[in-house]
């Protein structure tokens, strides 16, 4: 039968403790989530500033839909680029310090547009081994276009330098997350930028988990490290995490963005996101810009959690960001711990291979500015009880 292989592979996935299931929320995204009639404290979302359920953003979305309709009707380059899209792109460029920005429906799509557009036959990509799956897929697309692909050990600047030095590629492209989504640590962007300058390489940065959170006003990782909006940098940021809505953008020089607009297949051949989404995102950007209080609350929550979890039998990764991974190791043990927390009213997802390396199954604790000190204390005390 045609489905026999699929059935067998799913059975293998289940036996390895790797089956994935969706949960259906009965309430909007927020610090509390109701699932199957049970209300839980939500440590599972990337809603770092607590904006996903914000009433003002919801009103901006609704008002945008009433004014501009439900959909864009076409790709940006045909007839789907409406005034709210243009307004948002201009605002994102100004906020990040770059001359121009392009918006995309998802961060995954944005990443698929950038690297394969910059690198083809005769070129070389240099990618961190712990990059997000979307960056890995983008790298594979570049490889299919004829680019040479190199993966350097996680955050190993010396190894990357050796690779760049040995390369005779026409164009070199360094690709990295700024905040790594499963470990929560930061890329050494100042050192990577220095290498990009020295070896005349592009530096492509996925700022998904830094945009809205890091930097003096949430501008992202470049502002955090006081790095310039250089013409050799292309910065991708997602807008469904700290920004609380959805979509993504790529910011860069006017020339690089024009090149991406003209040659990036994932941009050219995609219907533009609804204009109402752009209306909500413009409102969100203002909230991020003035969100110092939210960021202070977020980092106070992170510090409180880390202090509370010290000394547990599981390894808390050295992360200073909203992503706090607690390494359990075994797949089934991680699932069992997540289940025990669930039964006690706490939603903390277990992350297993292939998302993370074998033997490093973990709880991925996502902290939000919406969490209270009591929420953090409840999670800490429950984990101590289970330990």
Q: Domain boundaries in the chain?
A: 17-49+292-386, 55-289
Mean pLDDT, rounded, for 50-58: 97
What's residue 1's pLDDT?
86
Among 76, 172, 224, 241, the active-site one is 241
Residue 16 has pLDDT above 90, yes or no: no
CA dihedral sign of residues 238, 174, 178, 352? positive
pLDDT above 90 for 315: yes
Give residue 21's pLDDT band: very low, low, confident or very high (50, 70, 90): confident
Please, are residues 180 and 130 in contact by the beta-carbon 8 Å criterion?
yes
Q: What angle do CA 284, 289, 292 make, to 5 degrees?
A: 115
Token look-up 């009591």 returns 374
Q: What is the CA radius of gyration of the chain?
A: 21
Q: How far apart are CA 361 and CA 333, in angstroms?
A: 8
Please confirm, yes or no, whether 76 is among the known catalytic residues: no
Set 105, 134, 181, 366: catalytic member: 181
For β-strands 124-128 and 315-316, DSSP reports them as unpaired
| pLDDT at residue 268, rounded to an integer | 97
Span between the terminal Cα atoms of the chain, in Å: 47
pLDDT at residue 140 in the model:
97
pLDDT of residue 165: 98
pLDDT of residue 75: 97
Class at the top of the CATH hierarchy for domain 17-49+292-386: alpha beta
- Asked if the peptide bond before residue 290 counts as cis, ω within 30 degrees of 0, the response is no
Mean pLDDT of the chain: 96
Q: pLDDT band at 20, cuts 50/70/90? A: confident
Per-residue pLDDT tens digits for 135-173: 999 999 999 999 999 999 999 999 999 999 999 999 999
> DSSP of 133-182, one letter per residue?
HHHHHHHHHHHHTT-EEEEEPTT-HHHHHHHHHH---SSEEEEEESB-TT
Residue 90: the pLDDT is 98
Taking a C-beta distance cutoff of 8 angstroms, is the pair 80, 271 a contact?
Answer: yes
Rounded Cα distance between 100 and 82, Å, is 16
Give the per-residue pLDDT at 19.
Answer: 86
pTM exceeding 0.85: yes
pLDDT in tens, 234-291: 999 999 999 999 999 999 999 999 999 999 999 999 999 999 999 999 999 999 999 9
Q: The dihedral of CA 200, 206, 212, 216: what is its sign? A: negative
Residue 217 has pLDDT above 90, yes or no: yes
Annotated catalytic residue, options 76, 132, 172, 209: 209
User: Rounded to the nearest 10 degrees, how much is the dihedral formed by the CA atoms of 253, 255, 260, 261?
Assistant: 110
Q: Under a CB-based contact definition with an 8 Å cutoff, are residues 365 and 324 in contact?
A: yes
Q: Are 187 and 177 in contact (CB under 8 A)?
A: yes
Residue 171 confidence (pLDDT)? 97
Express each pLDDT in 259-268 by its tens digit. 999 999 999 9
- 209 given a catalytic annotation: yes
Q: Which residues are CB-neighbours of 235 under 8 A, at least 6 positions away?
A: 96, 98, 205, 207, 220, 222, 229, 250, 251, 252
For the segment 320-378, what is each residue's pLDDT rounded down to a tens digit?
A: 999 999 999 999 999 999 999 999 999 999 999 888 999 999 999 999 999 999 999 99
- pLDDT tens digits along 60-109: 999 999 999 999 999 999 999 999 999 999 999 999 999 999 999 999 99
- Taking domain 55-289, whether its CATH number is 3.40.640.10 is answered by yes
């Amino acid at each position: 039968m045609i489905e026999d292989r699929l059935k067998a592979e799913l059975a293998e996935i289940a036996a390895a403790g790797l089956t994935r299931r969706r949960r259906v929320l009965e309430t909007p995204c927020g610090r509390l989530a109701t699932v199957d009639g049970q209300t839980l404290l939500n440590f599972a979302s990337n809603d770092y500033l607590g904006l996903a359920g914000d009433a003002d953003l919801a009103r901006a979305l609704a008002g945008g839909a009433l004014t501009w309709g439900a959909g864009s009707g076409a790709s940006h380059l045909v007839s789907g680029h409406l005034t709210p899209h243009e307004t948002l792109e201009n605002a994102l460029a100004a906020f990040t310090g770059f001359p121009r920005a392009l918006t995309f429906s998802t961060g995954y799509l944005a990443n698929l547009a950038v690297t394969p557009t910059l690198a083809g036959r005769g070129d070389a990509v240099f990618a961190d081994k712990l990059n997000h799956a979307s960056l890995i897929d983008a790298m594979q697309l570049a490889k299919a276009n004829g680019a040479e692909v190199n993966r350097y050990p996680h955050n190993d600047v010396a190894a990357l330098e050796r690779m760049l030095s040995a390369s005779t590629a026409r164009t070199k492209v360094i690709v990295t997350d700024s905040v790594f989504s499963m470990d929560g640590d930061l890329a050494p962007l100042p050192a990577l930028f220095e290498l990009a300058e020295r070896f005349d390489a592009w530096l492509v940065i996925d700022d998904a988990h830094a945009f809205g959170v890091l930097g003096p006003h949430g501008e992202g990782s470049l502002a955090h490290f006081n790095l310039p909006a250089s013409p050799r940098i292309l910065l991708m940021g997602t807008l469904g995490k700290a920004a609380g809505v959805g979509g993504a953008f790529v910011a860069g020089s006017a020339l690089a963005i024009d090149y991406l607009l003209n040659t990036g297949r994932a941009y050219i051949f995609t219907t533009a996101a609804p204009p109402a989404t752009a209306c909500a995102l413009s409102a969100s950007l203002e909230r991020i810009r003035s969100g110092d209080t939210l960021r202070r609350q977020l980092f106070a929550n992170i510090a409180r959690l880390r202090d509370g979890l010290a000394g547990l039998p599981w390894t808390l990764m050295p992360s200073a960001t909203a992503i706090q991974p607690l390494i359990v190791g075994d797949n089934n043990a991680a699932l069992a711990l997540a289940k025990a927390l669930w039964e006690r009213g706490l939603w903390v997802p277990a992350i297993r291979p292939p998302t993370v390396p074998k033997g490093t199954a973990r709880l991925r604790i996502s902290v939000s500015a919406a969490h209270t000190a009591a929420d953090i204390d409840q999670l800490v005390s429950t984990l101590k009880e289970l330990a």
